Amino acid sequence: MNTLEIGQIHRKEYGQSEPLVIAEAPGRVHLLGDHGEPRAGLFLSAAIDRYVRIAVSARKDASFRFYAVALDEHKRATLTNLKYKREDRWSNYIKVAIQLFVRMGFIDKGLNFTIDGDVPQQIGLASSTAVEISTAVALKKFFHANISNRDLVAKLARMREIFLGKSASLVDYEIIMNAKKGCFMIFDESVRDIRYIQANLDEYKVLILDSRVPRIDVEHELRQRRHDIRKGLEILSQHRPGLNFRNFTSADFIEADGNLPETIRRRSFFVVQELKRVSEVEEAIKKHDIQNFSRALFHSHEGLRDLLEVSCPEIDWLVKRSQETEGVAGSRMTGLGFGGCTFVFIKANAIANYQKRLEDYERIFGFRPIIYEMDTADGARVLEGDP
């Protein structure tokens, strides 16, 4: 849906012609680093050309009205009853941004919202974060708020934790806000630093494969992984504050072998290796070294599978078929794991053969993967409006 269409739908839905603001935010994909050291990760990521778009206009009362075009579904709230409700599902993420602007003193009356988008949901591409950021960018423009994007994403991530009671990854907000088309981004979570790399892989397409594996209560497993990683750092650093996994190499695990329980050793070793891989892939991309680029991505998936143990048979099968296909430059699981999706860098003339190889997936697992072709994208932006 383009800017004109969502604007027309918004005006038709709310029966008005008042000035409105329309903004969009892309989804994102992590290529490396998405299971690293908590709050100190090093990510190689990119925004994808699938978007959430949102239109907003003023009301004269204190009501908030929400309309989701794709679902043909309505929700509502008020200034005095602006809280999380499980049954409100998608609109809760809009309310995160509203609550932030309420607390900053910009909102004292109601607003109308219309939302639509094509970011695949619940497979680890940050669709909910894109909802929050598109809403926040629209509201920043609507109220001419004097706040930097850097401060906005930090406050928004914190508001998500307060409003939804869920931890928020600041890296997702930074990537979605600051991405550049044609570029990968290296984001250093410990200092909030972004470095851009020209993708330099024009002959390759990016496919996202939704394994369609249902994920049930993976948060407990992920909390355990984070606990193991923190414990590993504690043992390796011998309680010396300020150290992180970047202070260690593979050799340190040989010296500390007797002090590290096996599970914690494997989790921690993956983090150290992944940090090294981010640097290796950065150099490989700059030199157009497809062999080392590919090797690093496949080795990263092996680590996710064998050391961190966050993969599953369906995901492993998809990556293995990629590895066996001529014209593929790398594949890996992305997102939370235990299902979700993989990404594949593949030459256009190899896609048909790759899709044919995937026909066995349904026979083995009982359902088909969903394939999306993606490209890199710019970050969040205002498309229309100056109320």
pLDDT tens per residue across span 317-375: 999 999 999 999 999 999 999 999 999 999 999 999 999 999 999 999 999 999 999 99
What ranges do the domains of the chain cover?
3-200+377-384, 204-373
Q: For position 39, what pLDDT does the model report?
A: 85
- Residues of the chain with pLDDT > 70: what percent? 98
- Hey, what CATH topology would domain 3-200+377-384 get? Ribosomal Protein S5; domain 2 (3.30.230)
pLDDT score at 20:
87
Element (H, E) at 299: helix 290-306
How many whole angstroms separate alpha carbon 126 and alpha carbon 30? Answer: 10
Position 202 scores a pLDDT of: 87
CATH class of the 204-373 domain in this structure: alpha beta
Instruction: Provide the annotated active-site residues.
Output: 172
Q: Which of 175, 233, 182, 222 is nearest to 206 (CA)?
A: 182
Interval 117-145: pLDDT, tens: 999 998 999 999 999 999 999 999 999 99
Residue 105: which residues within 8 A CB-CB, separation 6 or more?
Answer: none
Tell me the pTM: 0.94
Average pLDDT over residues 78-92: 94
pLDDT tens, residue by residue, 227-251: 999 999 998 888 677 788 999 988 8
